[in-house]
Amino acid sequence: MKTEVILIQNIVGLGGESDLVKVAAGYARNYLFPQGLAVPVSAANKRRIEALKKRRGEREAHEYNTMTELSKSISKLIAVLQVKTGDDGKMFGAVTAGMVADQLKTQFDIALDKRKIHLEHPIKALGEHDIELRLHPEVTATLKVRIESTTPLPAPAAAPPASPEAREGAARTESRGHKRTEREREEKPPAEAGEKPPRPDRRPRVPRPAKAEKPAPAEKTEPAA
């Protein structure tokens, strides 16, 4: 059996102040009325609706302003969560909305219902992640979360120290190199002052054939008289 009641306070999933809603009679009688969350519908109680609507408007405006300011603050924060990982860097388990809410409270003293932290799926990778916060029906924020590992990275293996024989062999090799360089420097004759280095061989020039001389023109003879 259903009965109509007037809500005195906001009830998630049911309504806000001044709303007329229908609920089970037993739920109203055993819970809503004793807790002062609702009153039966009557002429006297209906007159209270305007006052409830005014109070509701003031409360919603205050919540909107508060969440707007909180959104601006959260967008500048980085929540750091530390988790355990294996030697391969993979996390044990995952980071949930509840863990993010706890870290906000611990690190920044921000109390936020985990239901306002929207995760499409739990975080299972190290690094930085952007998480959407639904602070109000009209206000959202983006929180940057950094997941770090508390497991120390394995130290790189140190190179074994060289044996005395290896050090002695390296010294001999270096000494031979110095001696060979000195010998080559001594054997190379010093260049005389002003002497130019020889030019690389050039292709020999092929002499051009001499031009044939033109025959002299024959002298003209006078005819006999």
Give me the mean pLDDT over the 23-46 stretch.
Answer: 90
Q: How confident is the model at residue 106 (pLDDT cuts 50, 70, 90)?
A: very high
Taking only the tens place, the pLDDT of each residue in 81-90 is: 999 888 877 8
Structural domains present in the chain: 2-68 (3.40.5.10), 72-149 (3.10.430.100)
Question: What's residue 197's pLDDT?
Answer: 55
Instruction: Please give the model's pTM, rounded to 2 decimal places.
Output: 0.54
Mean pLDDT of the chain: 80
Highest-scoring range by mean pLDDT, 1-10, 16-25, 72-81, 162-171: 72-81
User: For residues 211 and 15, which has the higher predicted lDDT (pLDDT)?
Assistant: 15
Question: What's residue 120's pLDDT?
Answer: 86
Give me the mean pLDDT over the 113-128 stretch.
Answer: 91
Give me the mean pLDDT over the 215-222 stretch.
Answer: 53
Using CA atoms, how far residue 173 sits from 44, 165, 169, 180, 184, in Å, is 109, 12, 6, 11, 17
What is the per-residue DSSP string for 96-155? -HHHHHHHHHHHH-----GGGEE-SS-B-SSEEEEEEEEEETTEEEEEEEEEEE-SPPPP
Give me the mean pLDDT over the 189-218 stretch.
Answer: 55
Question: What's residue 43's pLDDT?
Answer: 83
Say how far apart CA 53 and CA 99 lie, in whole Å: 37
pLDDT at 206 over 70: no
